[in-house]
């Protein structure tokens, strides 16, 4: 899951794009001895694993280092710990029949009915000033988002940059599959803002990043420096460049508004939704949806010599990929291919497969809410009796009708 404000394709920059951290909510484990791949040992307790970054609590303080530097035995231990954490954090109550609509809303869903556009339409008087403290804490709210800033902002400035947040919220709910995005907690999605980038980095921002989204259980927060929202200080006041928008920001906002689904979706579906939304044409608070497939085709071929060809990863590899493998792939060129492949496959199930109304994807989401295992739901509903090779043939045929020639990595 990405958050950078440039489309950079080198392995180093791709690694910096993976900044969403679906943090585990367990208490730290008892202290144990950890062994690196080169045989060095350290004693400590595991307190978090964010993406490919492990954090250990030791007598000398907390230490972070890549999961890949651990021995195979320790990597297996971490993966088991993460599975345990995911089970502990997953919204179990939402799978009960008396609470089915708490995550998804399918009762009045009209399959395949997409609007021509969605927008963030709200007035300046809908921006709330919750707190303005001269000690350095300022809190503002748009209809669905809370912004916690370390500098005072005007209502007009908050309204301008919050349009991309509200428009993305509207877009996620407009996708006709019943996602039913809703804030939890106090009723707002939280974003923490910093006047300067140095302040962002000193508060835990990942070096080299433009922003990040973290999630623990049912709570999540975006952290971002104001300059990356187009907000700048002229010396007398703050103003907003209304043309400032990054598709990777849309990507992360999508993850934030869909975070209640995080533990019910495999990584390719989570990333696919975020890629589909971030591929769409946006301008001044409005997403245009009159040519969604063309927007996706343009996005996945943006950095390739041909605008009509794309090579996806093997569908079995994509549909069974773990969060850990996704993170590991970000250190190589395959990271960008994973994102593009998830984009194409998710859109295939949204608007191309079957009658083009997303029936299988909706049935899959219903099954997950009902407590059906993800692998079983994928095999029985998404594959629907097809082998991965047969599904690949259907994907090729479907995207060919949209003007994109697809081949697969062997």
- In tens, the pLDDT along 21-45 reads 444 333 345 678 888 877 788 888 8
258 pLDDT above the threshold of 80: yes
50 pLDDT above the threshold of 70: no
Predicted confidence band at 6 (pLDDT cuts at 50, 70, 90)? very low
- Spell out the residues 6+ positions from residue 206 whose beta carbon is closer than 8 angstroms to its own: 16, 19, 212
What number does CATH give the domain 11-17+97-408? 1.10.390
| DSSP H helical ranges for 103-176 | 155-174
In DSSP terms, 44 is beta-bridged to: 32
Element housing 401 (H / E):
none
Q: Are 321 and 267 in contact, with CB atoms under 8 Å apart?
A: yes
CA gap 288, 280 in Å, rounded = 7
Element housing 260 (H / E):
none
In DSSP terms, 309 is beta-bridged to: 405
Window from 51-60, 242-251, 259-268, 399-408 with minimum mean pLDDT: 51-60
What are the CB-based long-range contacts (under 8 Å, 24+) for 355-361?
A: 355/112, 356/112, 357/111, 357/112, 357/176, 358/111, 358/112, 358/176, 358/177, 359/111, 360/384, 361/177
State the pLDDT at residue 24.
38
Phi-psi region of 287 (alpha: psi -120 to 50; beta: other; left: phi over 0): beta
116 pLDDT above the threshold of 90: yes
Average pLDDT, the chain: 83
Query: Where are the domains positioned within the chain?
Result: 11-17+97-408
CA gap 24, 88 in Å, rounded = 9
- In tens, the pLDDT along 316-360 reads 999 999 988 888 887 777 888 999 999 999 999 999 999 999 999
- In tens, the pLDDT along 154-196 reads 999 999 999 999 999 999 999 999 999 988 766 899 999 999 9
Higher model confidence: residue 52 or residue 205? 205
Higher model confidence: residue 95 or residue 216? 216
Q: Are 104 and 366 in contact, with CB atoms under 8 Å apart?
A: yes
Higher model confidence: residue 242 or residue 151? 151
State the pLDDT at residue 90.
46
């Amino acid at each position: 899951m990405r958050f950078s404000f440039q489309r950079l394709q080198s392995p180093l920059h791709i690694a910096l794009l993976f900044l969403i951290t679906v943090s585990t909510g367990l208490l730290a484990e008892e202290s144990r001895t950890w062994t690196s791949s080169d045989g060095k040992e350290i004693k400590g307790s595991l307190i978090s694993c964010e993406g490919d970054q492990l954090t250990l609590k030791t007598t000398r303080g907390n230490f972070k280092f890549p999961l890949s530097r651990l021995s195979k035995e320790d990597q297996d231990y971490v993966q088991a710990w993460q599975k345990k954490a995911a089970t502990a954090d997953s919204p179990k109550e939402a799978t009960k029949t008396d609470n089915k609509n708490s995550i998804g809303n399918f009762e009045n869903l009209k399959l395949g009915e997409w609007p021509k556009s969605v927008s963030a339409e709200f007035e300046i008087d809908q921006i709330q000033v919750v707190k303005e403290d001269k000690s350095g804490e300022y809190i503002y709210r748009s209809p669905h988002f809370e912004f916690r800033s370390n500098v005072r902002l005007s209502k007009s400035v908050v309204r301008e940059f919050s349009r991309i947040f509200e428009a993305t919220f509207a877009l996620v709910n407009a996708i006709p599959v019943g996602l039913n995005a809703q804030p939890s907690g106090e009723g707002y999605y939280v974003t923490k803002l910093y006047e300067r980038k140095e302040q962002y980095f000193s508060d835990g921002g990942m070096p080299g990043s433009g922003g990040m989204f973290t999630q623990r259980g049912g709570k999540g927060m975006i952290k971002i420096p104001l300059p990356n929202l187009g907000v700048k200080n002229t010396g007398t006041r703050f103003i907003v460049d209304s043309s400032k928008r990054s598709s990777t920001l849309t990507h992360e906002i999508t993850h934030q508004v869909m975070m209640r689904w995080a533990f019910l979706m495999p990584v390719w579906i989570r990333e696919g939704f975020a890629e589909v939304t971030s591929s769409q044409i946006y301008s001044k608070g409005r997403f245009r949806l009159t040519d969604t497939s063309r927007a996706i085709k343009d996005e996945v071929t943006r950095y390739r010599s041909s605008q009509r060809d794309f090579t996806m990863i093997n569908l079995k590899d994509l549909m069974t990929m773990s969060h850990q493998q996704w993170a590991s792939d970000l250190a190589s060129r395959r990271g960008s291919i994973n994102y593009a492949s998830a984009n194409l496959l998710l859109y295939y199930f949204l608007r191309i497969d079957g009658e083009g109304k997303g029936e299988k994807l909706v049935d899959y989401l219903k099954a997950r809410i009902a407590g059906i295992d993800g692998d079983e739901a994928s095999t029985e509903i998404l594959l629907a009796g097809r082998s991965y090779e047969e599904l690949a043939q259907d994907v090729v045929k479907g995207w060919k009708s949209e003007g994109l020639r697809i081949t697969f990595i062997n």
